[in-house]
Amino acid sequence: MRSDVRTYAHDLSGAIGTMLAIADLNAKRSIDPHTAAAAFESITVTARNAGRLVDNLARAATVAEGGSDSAYERDLDYLERVHPALDAVATDLEKVGRSQSIPIVDRETGRFLSVLVSAVQPQNILEIGTAYGYSTLWMARAQGPKGKILTIDPDRERTALASGFFQRAGVAKQIEIVNRPALDVLPTLPKESFEFIFIDALKEEYPQYLAASVPLLKKRGMLAADNLLWGHAASQAPSPSDAETTQAVRRFNEELLKHPALHAAIVPIGDGLGVATKVT
């Protein structure tokens, strides 16, 4: 596949996911007219961007040149071929998530999370944002049956579907799902009780997740967070009209990299993955 087609398709999926996330967030809130208007404006801006991406994708897809158009694209295709194929459960879960535009981590991000969890060997993992359980599945399999994962997501319909996949994969017994808003749950958890924390939920709340998560992480524990490039939006020149999600991701990135208790980096895997170790 041409890399421009892949990029436009990826960004379009991200734009649709952003609109759904904003709509879901505000549907669960009791909001005043001003907040509702701001949410509508964010959705409008994102919808316009999605329309532009559709145009770009259509133009790129009709270009006569076929196949890969760069050494980078060839590398990606090679790496996909050389990695082991996904099993039936992960393949089905991935298809459902993509077909319904539910934000799930990219496959390469899932693989990398699996390696991180294998290296850390955490007994207790905290996940903020379950969705359909795709990242949960990658981590649970790497963690092994003696570990425990506490995953938080207020959407009962999505997590019910995730539970079915966990049952199929044989990892359900090690996973506890909490169907409440993460910012309500995090303050109730015991300090320094997790060796690994993964953040992939509402982007507007990312900075609050970070502040609440660091005290829950054991020393030498690892924290990871997805979507830190946010569909290339984070790297754009800042503007007063930037969506709340983009502003929050940028703020999270700065706070993650400058946090005095963390040794952190952001790597261009998937949509940008932050990784950090608690050093103090």
DSSP H/E element including 248: helix 244-258
What's the pLDDT at 52? Answer: 62
Residue with more model confidence, 179 or 62: 179
Q: Which domain, by its residues, includes 78?
A: 3-82
CATH of residue 214's domain is 3.40.50.150
The pair phi, psi for residue 243, each rounded to 5°, is -60, 155
Q: What is the pTM of this model?
A: 0.79
- Residues 246-271 pLDDT 10s: 999 999 999 999 999 999 999 999 99
What's the pLDDT at 135? Answer: 98
- Specify the amino acid at residue 43: I
On whether both 65 and 99 belong to a single domain, the answer is: no
| Number of compact structural domains in the chain | 2
On whether both 74 and 107 belong to a single domain, the answer is: no
On whether both 31 and 152 belong to a single domain, the answer is: no
Q: Would the pLDDT of 13 be above 50?
A: yes
Report the percent of the chain where pLDDT is more than 90: 69
**Domain limit, last residue, from 48, 82, 116:** 82
Provide the terminal-to-terminal Cα distance of the chain, rounded to the nearest Å: 45
User: Order of strands across the sheet with 262-267?
Assistant: 175-178, 148-152, 124-128, 194-199, 217-225, 273-278, 262-267
On whether both 77 and 97 belong to a single domain, the answer is: no
On whether both 50 and 178 belong to a single domain, the answer is: no
Q: Would the pLDDT of 193 be above 90?
A: yes
Burial 205-243 (b: 16+ CB within 10 A, else e): bbbebbebbbebbbeebbbbbbbbbbbebbeeeeeeebb
Q: Would the pLDDT of 5 be above 60?
A: no
On whether both 63 and 10 belong to a single domain, the answer is: yes
Number of H helices, E strands in the chain: 10, 7
On whether both 101 and 130 belong to a single domain, the answer is: yes
Burial class (CB in 10 A: 0-12, 13-18, 19+), 88: exposed
On whether both 123 and 215 belong to a single domain, the answer is: yes
- Residues 215-234 pLDDT 10s: 999 999 999 999 999 989 99
**Domain limit, last residue, from 55, 82, 109:** 82
- Rounded to 5°, the CA angle 46-50-52 comes to 115
**Domain limit, last residue, from 82, 103, 137:** 82
d(CA 267, CA 273): 5
The pair phi, psi for residue 167, each rounded to 5°, is -65, -45
On whether both 203 and 143 belong to a single domain, the answer is: yes
On whether both 125 and 251 belong to a single domain, the answer is: yes
On whether both 109 and 179 belong to a single domain, the answer is: yes
